Amino acid sequence: MSSDIAIGIHDLSFATTEYVLPHTALAAHNGTEIGKYHIGIGQHSMSVPAADEDIVTLGAAAAAPLIAAHGSDRIRTVVFATESSIDQAKAAGVYVHSLLQLPSACRVVELKQACYGATAALQFALGLVRRDPAQQVLVIASDVSKYELDSPGEATQGAAAVAMLVGLDPHLLRIEEPSGLFTADVMDFWRPNYRDAALVDGQESISAYLQAVEGSFKDYTEQGGRPLEEFAAFCYHQPFTKMAYKAHRHLLNYCGADTDTDTIERAIGLTTAYNTTIGNSYTASVYLGLAALLDQADDLSGQPLAFLSYGSGSVAEFFAATVVPGYREHLRTAQHRDAIDRRTPVDYAAYRTLHQRAFPTDGGHYPTPEQTSGPFRLAALNGHKRIYEAR
């Protein structure tokens, strides 16, 4: 961002689910050596939605603290990023707009490009604020990652939502120009309209991700971005946390930099804390990494951070942000840790029941069991309409 105007992330909050499945329970079910999960992919547990939770309830729960703290008078746009959409026409953000009682003088849209969508939403928000500095934009990234039972991807599932308030003179991060961009038509991960669970080619996905890291950073450099050694830390999209390590090692190799373990750990170690226990949250993942970094690191005031946002199929963006001095006074660390700690562990049988749950498609009235203790719930499906309620 040019020096005359500072736009970025003013506040950030996240929410996750009512339940959690430890990977020890998954390993006991399928006979996998636990080290394959804990060490091999870097995952220890996965967030599991209750029957009355979905991307709307998670998104509203993430955004509610921002509205409580800052009000909604300046919010004229809500951008909801997801790849686990609940409707082919209506934006999930419209339900959130209603649950949070936001002003009617507001545009609400939904963005989709696999796990990259939230970064597109953030970049669009920056442009809107630059156009009208008096307004703020509410960006919500919310997803439920779902793969078929007993499939290789099952262990990487998760669910969470991150909400960000984007505006002038931000409290947390000032987003910089330029961005490095990369797109390639690959079939590494996709979910046709007729499927609830995604399809993934694991090896192709890793290769496509690494290609995108290289391509987006190359463009970032060509656009006049910062040299690699200036960054205090790197926030990567984390479909599983070990992927961040693979990605950073690949970037260091591409740049001819040192790839020793300590160097990599210093660059990304703190960013994996929330993802390792929540699992893959698709669009929210890279910003959960940011939350984990800000909540744990020593004072980062004035330090530049790097972001690599990747979405299968594939689109990637490499960009930078500077941490605003005094940011620690505005963090939600206790709330974030409580969101993780409050989850109730479930056994494999209970998780499997929740995973297989689906609404009938005949348009009848189907109430949901009241399971979540969160502030919002999906109460029923009635006449093909989703009915939400706030507590």
Give the catalytic positions in this structure.
83, 115, 237
User: How many C-beta neighbours within 10 Å does residue 1 have?
Assistant: 17
Burial 129-167 (b: 16+ CB within 10 A, else e): beeeeebbbbbbbbbbbbbeeeeebbbbbbbbbbbbbbb
Torsion of CA 289, 292, 295, 301, to 10 degrees: -30
d(C-alpha 334, C-alpha 85), whole Å: 30
Is 93 in contact with 109 (CB distance < 8 Å)?
yes
- Say if residues 172 and 291 touch (Cβ distance below 8 Å): no
Q: Please name the residue that has the structure tokens 């689910």.
A: 17
CA atoms within 13 A on the CB side of 213: 26
In 3D space, the residue among 66, 80, 57, 63 whose CA is nearest the CA of residue 282 turns out to be: 80
18 burial level (CB within 10 Å; 0-12, 13-18, 19+): buried
Distance CA 161, CA 141 (A): 5
How far is it, in rounded angstroms, from Cα 267 to Cα 270? 8
Cβ atoms of 168 and 129 closer than 8 Å: yes
Q: Is 198 left (phi over 0), alpha (psi -120 to 50) or beta?
A: beta
CB 28 within 8 A of CB 143: no
Residue spans of alpha helices (H) in the chain: 23-30, 35, 55-70, 92-99, 117-131, 202-222, 241-254, 261-268, 275-278, 285-296, 333-341, 348-356
Select from 158, 162, 148 the least CA-distant residue to 277.
158
- The torsion angles phi and psi of 179, rounded to 5 degrees, stand at -115, 145
